[in-house]
Amino acid sequence: MKAEILAVGTELLLGDIVNTNAQYIARRLADLGISVYHHSVVGDNPERLKDAYELAFKRADLVITTGGLGPTKDDLTKEIAAEYFNKELVVDEESMKKIEEYSKRNNRPVLESNKKQAYMPKGCIILKNDHGSAPGCIIEDKGKILIMMPGPPREMKPMFENYAVPYLEKFSDGVLVSRVLRVLGLGESEMEDRVKDIIDSQDNPTVAPYVKDGEATLRITSKANIKEEAVKLLVPMESNIRERLGDYIYGVDDTTIEEVVAKLLIDKNLTIATAESCTGGLIASKLINYPGISSVFMEGVVSYSNDAKVKRLGVKKETLDKYGAVSKETAEEMAVGIAKTAGTDIGISVTGIAGPDGGTAEKPVGLVYVGLYIKGSVKTKKLNFWGDRQNIRNRTAISALDWLRREIK
């Protein structure tokens, strides 16, 4: 089966946003063994959209669209598709009910423009939208398949995974199995050096490195007629790589470092509190994104001012005067202080210079100290980053969490 990905939206054509949806869908279709030869983007224009359908169905059996399902009159993907396939648009009662309930809950009237989202091509398969109001749908006709999904990635991705992928599995041409190994604490070249011979001699499975925002990944992909065979090919390759990268690998696939750490804390029933300066709540916020964290995460302090460090955490004024707020000593007292005042097993602290100002020759922008108190003993770690403020703060949070992972593992 040949597929084509068609993104609809003038905001894409104008370069207001990046077409990350195409990448996501392309990768998942590759996993399913469905070949993709073209991606296209077209604006919210009836004639060009119709031409785009015609062209796509000339080249492919399956066309997947994203975008243009919203309430505004610019949103035309569904309307033009209905025209193309000569189908009437009819109310989908369940979708209409959902839209009405949503408006009610928000004390808003149900506008005509909202209702438009519940009109679907007659006879189509509805794809539920669990994260927004515009449902997607599948039209099967003339030996062709059209799958339409909303544009916002956080609506599109779960819809695709939960409702489109199960539908598509029957068209899968052989099976691809992929596994992404997630690596922290090793630079890109260092990681590549360790697995270079594997990458150079790859065939099936293939191994692809990728680096983004201080984190590296290795994607292993194997192909076979059935899933079991593909997994059999993948497993020894994964073991081989794991032997070389050891516990630099913190997780697989879509796992995040905060998820790994949160799970470890919950499993081991270790309570935690955070004391953050330059990261300003980023570590707490990442951990709290994990549902169920409330059983172990007790509290956090964003001790941005020196006053707060003294008052909330019991950092000694002399320490601040003698060593400065960004120092090993302050990080240590912050970690002990937050654990003691919160009564937790673990206290993790961060103090650093995120820039762009505030750096000196001795303490440059990017210098960060992390403190880690675990049940009576405390350690600190000095880190150096470069990049802009946001980048430094984010890398600091990730590195601190990764250090915590290794210490409690």
User: In degrees rounded to 5, what are phi and psi of residue 244?
Assistant: -80, -30
Distance CA 280, CA 283 (A): 8
What does 349-396 look like in DSSP terms, one character per residue?
A: EEEE--SSS---SSS-TTEEEEEEEETTEEEEEEEE--S-HHHHHHHH
3-state secondary structure of 131: coil
Q: Which amino acid is at 42?
A: V
Report the alpha-carbon distance of residue 80 to residue 53 in Å, rounded: 9
Q: By C-beta, is 113 or 225 nearer to a copy of itself?
A: 113
Q: Which is nearer to a copy of itself, 18 or 166 (CB)?
A: 18
Helices (H) and strands (E) in the chain, counts: 16, 17
For a copy of itself, which is the closer residue by CB, 125 or 180? Answer: 180
CB of 238 to a copy of itself, least distance (A): 18
Closer residue to a copy of itself, CB minimum distance, 51 or 88: 51
Name which of 314 and 387 has its Cβ closer to a copy of itself: 387
The span from the CA of 337 to the CA of 365, in Å, is 25
User: Which candidate, 317, 328, 309, 324, places its Cα nearest to that of 359?
Assistant: 324
Look up tokens 């224009």; give the residue.
Answer: 45
Q: How far is the CB of 280 from a copy of itself (least distance, A)?
A: 3
- Between 210 and 232, CB nearer to a copy of itself: 210
- For residue 218, the minimal CB distance to a copy of itself (Å) is 12
C-beta of 38: minimal distance to a copy of itself in Å? 6
Query: Cβ of residue 147: shortest distance to a copy of itself, in angstroms?
Result: 16
- Is the Cβ of residue 154 or residue 268 nearer to a copy of itself in the bound state? 154
Sign of the alpha-carbon torsion through 12, 18, 21, 27: positive
- H/E run at residue 178: strand 175-183
In angstroms, what is the minimal distance from the CB of 82 to a copy of itself?
Answer: 22
Shortest distance, position 395 Cβ to a copy of itself, whole Å = 12
For 126, counting Cβ atoms within 10 Å of its Cβ (0-12 exposed, 13-18 middle, 19+ buried), the class is: middle
Cα 239 from chain centre: 25
